[in-house]
Amino acid sequence: MFDFNRSNIEGDFYILTYFISVLIVFSVLMVLVVILNSALKSWISDGGIEILKVLRRRIRLPVILLVIFLSLIIPSSFFDHEIRPLGPLSTVMSVMVIIFVSWILIQSVHLIKHFVLTRFDFEEKDNLKARKIYTQFRVLENIIIFLIVVVALSLILMSFESIRKIGVSLIASAGVAGIIIGFAAQRAIGTILAGIQIALSQPIRLDDVVIVENEWGRIEEINLTYVVVAIWDKRRLVLPTTYFIEKPFQNWTRTTAEILGTVFIYADYTIPVDAVRKELDRILESAVHWDGKVKVVQVTNATEKTVEIRVLVSAADSPSAWDLRVYVREKLLAFLQRDYPQCLPRARVVVDPEKYGRGLAT
């Protein structure tokens, strides 16, 4: 390991110089770590101290190993190539430094995301801003970690001279193969780019209520290449991210979690609409899911047999709106059956007695 190809005196001198340099570099790096730790403590608010403790606990081992390897590599780089104390081990140690740096960066990304997301309550009713931030950080976290891994692997491969030469020769003769691979990976790359576009433009967010493929559900996961929609009956609909870029779909909570519930009642022409309005007021007084903002009764259509009465009520979110619609529909039907049974839909037949005779019943 320490074959300097010099006299013993010169070899001992280089060994001593190297180890003294290692101690100096190690001391300097540890001082920098302590200073950085103190700066983070003063910069992060009291609420973030716990996050800092978690970060320090997660990266303590890779930081210590990184300092040790840097302390061994940095002094060695100042020696001539023929007398470098580490010899062939310098390449291995360089690879380890890359791994430890990547490890620290990935853990830092995880903790930064956690630190930001703890400031937003995902469970509250009006969680539009929280869903927006969650969506951005979930997708961007995957992108950043992917880039860190790709860069780390590239640097590791470039650290070995033999692999670097092989890579250069392969690149020089891989023009046609590159074109073929490019065409084959076109859809995969397009899917990844669609995931990035969703993170930036956000046509959908986590926990959005959507209707896709004629199914009602919530956005459960958003990844780089696919989106998982939790259907109301516990099924999961998995769609490529390109679906939400290329195809139309309904997003019920795009701008707010609030939503209007619609109830249609079909009744006879004799139904008193004002009585329905008063009954709706009475029903909503005891409706726990009504947010007190919207209550409308309108005759929206009239056919040859019935009139269509549309009832609009508002709720804080889509699950509450669903329960409210069911509750209002049940109570209005009970009201018609109890107080106005003659106003339920009916078919009328009128027979002209002069034409068919007085003995025919109408």
What residue has token string 């392969």? 170
Mark the ranges of the chain whose per-residue pLDDT is less than 70: 1-18, 37, 39-56, 75-90, 120-129, 131-132, 160-188, 256-257, 351-362
Question: Are the CB atoms for 335 and 279 separated by under 8 Å?
Answer: yes
The reported pLDDT for the residue numbered 219 is 87
The reported pLDDT for the residue numbered 188 is 66
**Chain centroid to CA 102: how far?**
23
User: What domains does the chain contain, in order, with CATH numbers?
Assistant: 8-119 (no CATH), 259-343 (3.30.70.100)
The reported pLDDT for the residue numbered 229 is 92
Q: Is 214 left (phi over 0), alpha (psi -120 to 50) or beta?
A: left
The reported pLDDT for the residue numbered 7 is 47
Other residues' Cβ atoms within 10 Å of the Cβ of residue 258:
20
The reported pLDDT for the residue numbered 234 is 83
The beta-strand segments (E) located in the chain are 209-212, 215-222, 226-231, 236-240, 250-251, 259-267, 295-302, 307-315
pLDDT tens across 297-308, in order? 999 899 888 999
Backbone φ, ψ for residue 126 (5° rounding): -90, 80
Backbone φ, ψ for residue 312 (5° rounding): -110, 130
The reported pLDDT for the residue numbered 24 is 80
- Report if pTM > 0.95: no
The reported pLDDT for the residue numbered 63 is 77
Residues 6+ apart with CB under 8 A from 60: none
The reported pLDDT for the residue numbered 170 is 47
- Cα–Cα distance between 270 and 355 in angstroms, integer? 28
Residues 6+ apart with CB under 8 A from 188: 225
